[in-house]
């Protein structure tokens, strides 16, 4: 068992992250007395419920199940959940338990932030991606008007329980998605980069379970310094401007896969505009290609670039803002004119495919 605390400025909010096995049977069961006292609702998705309903039912808490998938990260699901929270009688002292991947965590966290102007949320991330990234740090959101995460709030979970036993039921593709965010962290942290580079089988479950806490530590350190993304936290968006734009144009690719593609494109963009370490960027690309199985040939570059222009991270109208890797453990913020960005993406696609 390993425990982290994220203390935010002002000391008002604190998030405790516990890495341990058998969270449903042990941790949440142990929490039941205080959960029942304040009232609680479990929010999960159809896949997770189908796999874990026996353990979930043993908790004897009300459950709300959304249809699984990013396409349901919508206002309809958010409001259906809020309605359920009202109907089961959650109060200010109640807790919403978001049990699932990043989609459940993002919608659940947003609902918890809105309900009665904010109630407690416990994140129980069940995908690799959610354990190493989305459950930590308090970003919550839904997609809206064709833009990823357009409506959201910062709402720190009171607890995050990260349990590697959930990985046993994860399809290989979901491990690949989690590795997308792990490689993003490795691009910010030389030690993690070396660990990944030295590992023969990046999909080995024991290895992944071991590096979950490393990833949480990397993210927690950034969030503690900049909880609401005024500056430093933008480094966690590495590969994400292009990645999110690709994600919106490609229904067949998941978030993690698009992050990997975004990292691949943005490391080459970095080499074109900034002082970078060529050998390191080549090693980073090689690491990405060990995980990514699609080549991105079918990406609609014009559409993706247009969507990148609408990204909420941009600060000016005709520029695209990127966080890009430069040297081992180093990154830079890069603001590109839209025309240059489109040209770069097109040329890089030719190089890659």
Site string for ligand NAD, 223-262 (x = CB under 6 A): -------------------------------xxx------
Q: At its nearest, how many Å lie between ligand GLY and the CB of residue 138?
A: 8
Residue linked to tokens 């308090």: 138
Choose between 109 and 164: whose C-beta lies nearer to ligand GLY.
109
The three-state secondary structure class of 122 is: strand
Stretch that binds ligand NAD, among 55-63, 166-174, 303-311, 326-334 (CB under 6 A): 166-174
Q: Write out the two tokens for 90.
A: 């959650």
Stretch that binds ligand GLY, among 86-94, 133-141, 190-198, 345-353 (CB under 6 A): 133-141
Q: Write out the two tokens for 262.
A: 């975004």
Burial environment of residue 273 by CB neighbours within 10 A (0 to 12, 13 to 18, 19 or more): middle
Choose between 45 and 106: whose C-beta lies nearer to ligand GLY.
106
Q: For residues 223, 169, 163 and 139, what is the CA-based torsion angle, rounded to 10 degrees?
A: 20
Q: At its nearest, how many Å lie between ligand GLY and the CB of residue 246?
A: 16
Binding flag, residue 244, ligand GLY (CB under 6 A): no
Residue linked to tokens 């997308």: 180
Binding flag, residue 130, ligand GLY (CB under 6 A): no
Binding residue for ligand GLY, selected from 31, 45, 106, 133, defined by CB under 6 A = 133
The three-state secondary structure class of 127 is: coil
**For the chain, how big is the Rg over CA atoms in Å?**
20
The crossing angle, in degrees rounded to 10, of helices 301-309 and 240-249 is 120
Using CA of residue 217, residue 292, residue 333, residue 113, what is the dihedral sign?
A: negative
Q: Which of the listed partners (ligand NAD, ligand GLY, none) does 101 bind, with a CB threshold of 5 to 8 Å by partner kind?
A: ligand NAD
Binding flag, residue 139, ligand GLY (CB under 6 A): yes
Q: Within positions 67 to 86, which residues make up the interface with ligand NAD, using CB under 6 A?
A: 68-70, 73
Stretch that binds ligand GLY, among 107-115, 132-140, 256-264, 327-335 (CB under 6 A): 132-140
Stretch that binds ligand NAD, among 1-9, 32-40, 47-55, 57-65 (CB under 6 A): 47-55
Number of residues that bind ligand GLY (CB under 6 A): 6
Cα separation, 73 vs 77, in Å, equals: 7
Q: For residues 192, 194, 199 and 200, what is the CA-based torsion angle, rounded to 10 degrees?
A: 140
Name the residue with the smallest CB distance to ligand GLY: 236
DSSP code of residue 169 = G
Tell me if 259 sits within 8 A of 129, measured CB to CB. no
Binding flag, residue 155, ligand GLY (CB under 6 A): no
The three-state secondary structure class of 4 is: strand
Binding residue for ligand NAD, selected from 6, 19, 23, 48, defined by CB under 6 A = 48
Tell me if 257 sits within 8 A of 239, measured CB to CB. no
Binding flag, residue 304, ligand NAD (CB under 6 A): no
**Cα–Cα nearest to 138, from 103, 96, 105, 171:** 105
Binding flag, residue 8, ligand GLY (CB under 6 A): no
Binding flag, residue 233, ligand GLY (CB under 6 A): yes
Tell me if 162 sits within 8 A of 192, measured CB to CB. no
Cα separation, 300 vs 314, in Å, equals: 21
Q: Which of the listed partners (ligand GLY, ligand NAD, none) does 233 bind, with a CB threshold of 5 to 8 Å by partner kind?
A: ligand GLY
Which residues of this chain interact with ligand GLY, rule CB under 6 A?
Answer: 133, 137, 139, 233, 236-237
Which residues of this chain interact with ligand NAD, rule CB under 6 A?
Answer: 45, 47-48, 51, 68-70, 73, 100-104, 106, 126-127, 129-130, 133-134, 137, 139, 149, 166, 169-170, 174, 177, 181, 254-256
């Amino acid at each position: 068992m390993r425990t982290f605390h994220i203390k935010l400025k002002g000391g008002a909010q604190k998030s405790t992250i516990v890495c341990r096995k058998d969270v449903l049977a042990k941790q949440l069961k142990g929490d039941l007395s205080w959960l029942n006292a304040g009232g609680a609702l479990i929010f999960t998705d159809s896949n997770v419920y189908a796999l874990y309903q026996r353990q979930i039912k043993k908790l004897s808490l009300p459950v709300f199940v959304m249809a699984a998938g990013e396409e349901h990260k919508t206002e309809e699901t958010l409001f259906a959940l809020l309605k359920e929270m009202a109907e089961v009688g959650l109060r200010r002292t109640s807790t919403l338990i978001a049990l699932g991947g990043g989609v459940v965590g993002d919608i659940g966290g947003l609902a918890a932030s809105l309900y009665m102007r904010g109630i407690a949320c416990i994140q129980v991330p069940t995908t690799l991606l959610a354990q190493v990234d989305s459950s930590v740090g308090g970003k919550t959101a839904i997609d809206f008007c064709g833009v990823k995460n357009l409506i959201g709030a910062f709402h720190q979970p009171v607890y995050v329980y990260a349990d590697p036993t959930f990985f046993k039921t994860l399809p290989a593709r979901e491990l690949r998605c989690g590795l997308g965010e792990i490689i993003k962290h490795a691009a910010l942290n030389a030690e993690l980069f070396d660990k990944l580079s030295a590992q023969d089988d990046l999909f080995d479950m024991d290895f992944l379970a071991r590096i979950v806490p490393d990833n949480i530590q990397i993210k927690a350190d950034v969030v503690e310094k900049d909880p609401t993304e005024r500056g430093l936290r933008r480094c966690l968006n590495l590969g994400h401007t292009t990645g999110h734009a690709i994600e919106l144009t490609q229904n067949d690719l998941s978030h993690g896969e698009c992050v990997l593609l975004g990292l691949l494109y943005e490391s080459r963009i970095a080499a074109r505009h900034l002082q970078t370490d060529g050998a390191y960027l080549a090693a980073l690309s090689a690491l990405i290609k060990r995980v990514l199985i699609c080549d991105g040939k079918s990406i609609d570059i014009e559409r993706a670039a247009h969507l990148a222009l609408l990204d909420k991270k941009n600060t000016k109208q005709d520029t695209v803002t990127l966080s890009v890797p430069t040297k081992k453990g180093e990154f830079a913020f890069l603001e590109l004119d839209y025309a240059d960005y489109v040209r770069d993406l097109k040329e890089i696609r030719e190089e890659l495919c």
